[in-house]
Structure 1
Amino acid sequence: MSLTLIAMAAAAATHTVQIDHGGSPVQATYTARTEIRTKTVGAKAPNRMDMQRCQWTATIVIDRALSHGPALTRTVSSDKQFSGSEHGACTPGRQSGERNMAQHEDKIRDHLIAVAKKDRAPLLAELDAVRNLASN
């Protein structure tokens, strides 16, 4: 059995950056969200000890939104992952990954800030492209 859940981390991490583009300020908000996949592995046989485990993998996805409109809103990164397992089968109400993500909040915030810094040049290039399109 495999379950896929999309959830926000306990305290949704956001980071806002303001850059100057062509004399006007542009505010970019980066938000980290968590996509969690769970999978039950192992056997459960009658009259024997339960050998099932719930394996979870959480992928941190960073989305960017601009203050002046949805035009350049997109997913910037989804390369950071955390994983673990717990005794027992995965069930919809169990929320194995969500509970365990709280211990990684600092790492998620650090990743969010690093992604925002790396995205500065691509963001400026996208803004230049949009400006060039608008001026034609």
Structure 2
Amino acid sequence: MTAIVAALSVASLAAPALANTDQDFRHQVEVPHGERQVTAVYQPKTQVSYRQVGNMTPNRPSTARCLWQAEIAVERHLQAPAGQGSHIVRTLVPTKLIEGSTKGRCAQGNEQVNSAIARRADEVREHVLAVAAEDRNALMAELSVAAGNPAG
């Protein structure tokens, strides 16, 4: 019975979760599109997966550790001026990977994982800015196609 409970808890922790640190940084760019301005907002989207290793047996020292991996993607929100278009969201590549581990069970370490990711906020910010800079040509091409003026 103990093995079944342990297997179920590990299976539930293997599912990715979204970290709540995503809304800390947004990068906004105004892009001319014909006679109007379009706003492109770049922000990180973090998905964290957990893996429990080791065990916690009664009357023995615990060897339980939580291995975690945060995959940080960048979402581009494309917004036309009010009443002049729609809102389009696209997830861009590449993603950034941040890994770590905490002592004990994964269910108890969410705050530690969020703190570890928050301590590396400068890396996340740099990643968002780099992806946004790389996206400039693709964004302009998409806007050109949307306006009916394909490049090339």
- 1:47 CA drift (Å): 2.4
Structure 2 unpaired stretches of 5+: 1-9, 81-85
C-alpha contact (below 8 Å) 2:65/2:105 kept by paired residues: yes
Structure 1 unpaired stretches of 5+: none
3-state SS, counterpart of residue 114 of structure 1: helix
Counterpart-to-counterpart distance in 2, 1:13 and 1:59: 16
Distance 1:58 1:125, change over 3 A: same
1:130 corresponds to 2:142:
no
Which structure is richer in relative contact order (CA contacts within 8 A, separation 6 or more)?
Answer: 1
* CA offset digits 1:79-99 (Å, max 9, x no partner): 101010011011167333212
- 1:34 CA drift (Å): 1.2
- Map of 1:48 onto structure 2: 60
Equivalent position to 1:84, from 84, 94, 100: 100
- Map of 2:119 onto structure 1: 103
Residue identity matched to 1:130: A
Name whichever structure is richer in helix by fraction.
Answer: 2
C-alpha contact (below 8 Å) 1:59/1:80 kept by paired residues: yes
Identity %: 32
Counterpart-to-counterpart distance in 2, 1:94 and 1:64: 27
C-alpha contact (below 8 Å) 1:34/1:61 kept by paired residues: yes
TM-score for the superposition, normalised by structure 1 = 0.86
TM-score for the superposition, normalised by structure 2 = 0.78
- 1:46 CA drift (Å): 2.7
Pairs aligned (count): 132
3-state SS, counterpart of residue 60 of structure 1: strand
- 1:107 CA drift (Å): 0.8
- Map of 1:94 onto structure 2: 110
3-state SS, counterpart of residue 133 of structure 2: helix
- Map of 1:60 onto structure 2: 72
